Amino acid sequence: MEANIVVLGTESVGKSALTVRLLTRRFIGEYGDIESIYSHSFIADGREITLNIWDSPYSEDSSVETSLFQKKVRWADSFILVYSICDRASFNSISRFIQTIKSTKDYLGADKPPIVIVGNKRDLHHRRTVLSEEGRLLALNTDCHFYEVSAAENYHSVLMVFHGLVDRMKDAKLTTKRPLGFKGIVKSMSAVFARRRTDSF
Ligand SMILES: Nc1nc2c(ncn2[C@@H]2O[C@H](COP(=O)(O)OP(=O)(O)OP(=O)(O)O)[C@@H](O)[C@H]2O)c(=O)[nH]1
Ligand SMILES: [Mg+2]
CA distances to 3, 55, 113, 146, 174 from 171, rounded to whole Å, are: 10, 23, 12, 22, 5
Burial bucket for residue 13 (CB in 10 Å: 0-12, 13-18, 19+) = buried
Whether pLDDT at 156 is above 80? yes
Q: How far is CA 197 from the centre of its chain?
A: 17
Q: In what order do the strands lie in the sheet with 2-8?
A: 145-148, 115-120, 78-84, 2-8, 47-55, 36-44, 196-197
From the CA of 193, how far away is ligand 2's center (Å)?
15
The model's pLDDT over 33-43, given as tens digits with 9 standing for 90+, comes to 888 999 999 98
Nearest CA to ligand 1 atom 11: 12
Nearest CA to ligand 1 atom 14: 14
What is the pLDDT at residue 174? 56
What is the pLDDT at residue 83? 98
CATH architecture of the domain with range 2-192: 3-Layer(aba) Sandwich (3.40)
Whether pLDDT at 159 is above 80? yes
pLDDT > 90 in the chain, percent: 61
Q: Which range has the worst mean pLDDT, 25-29, 66-70, 145-149?
A: 66-70
Domain ranges for the chain, please list them. Answer: 2-192
From the CA of 56, how far away is ligand 1's center (Å)?
12
87 SS3 class: coil
The model's pLDDT over 88-101, given as tens digits with 9 standing for 90+, comes to 999 999 999 999 89
